[in-house]
Structure 1
């Protein structure tokens, strides 16, 4: 078996590529964050805590309310959406199509003090707002122990 390696002349572009290719974070940045489907697969999220609960805001433009599914199972909140756009017109000749299907799924571990029965969500202006209310603290019962 013969292996051939061709050496290309070093240019500024090649030298910079060699320097940044050696960094492990570059692979993450290049492959995950800078890919065209990163934000459609993983929508950006803001999470805020208030005195009454937690607020999760997801940026997911272009969806309808019916596209979203929110489930709570085993202390995990799963938020997903799927949208298929299928339009076909006999009058138009399609030259290029770069969209037609969008989907994502995000999961969040819930804190023990979250009231899972009263979680609600609202979608407006491309932002899905999920409200996770906190449970009311149960007062600790005082137990009298009788000495015998």
Structure 2
């Protein structure tokens, strides 16, 4: 495939992601959170506490960014860090009671917001988009 052939696809991919962010981010911001904070809270919701590495692997947040986000969420009383009983060099991160309450409020509300957009796709279109995105993810992950 020549360079000129994939450039429109690249542009479409980036444009689609940017359009998603323009739709998603204001809803999260209206909840008083950044998209990164929301991602962390959504990942920790209804889960047992996990290590920073596990949290980083399950979110789209880089390690450097994650540290600052965790500090801010801890300062707000949304999450807590405890020593990992299995490895004292790491910490277990989990939601506080206030964090769980916040998760139960913001997570379903944001899913409802996203569903308004995704419901415009037929089941077949949704399956095709999902399959295509998995293929793209795979080719860039190797």
Q: Which has the higher strand share?
A: 1
Higher helix fraction: Structure 1 or Structure 2? 2
TM-score (ref. length: structure 1) = 0.24
Greater radius of gyration (CA): 1
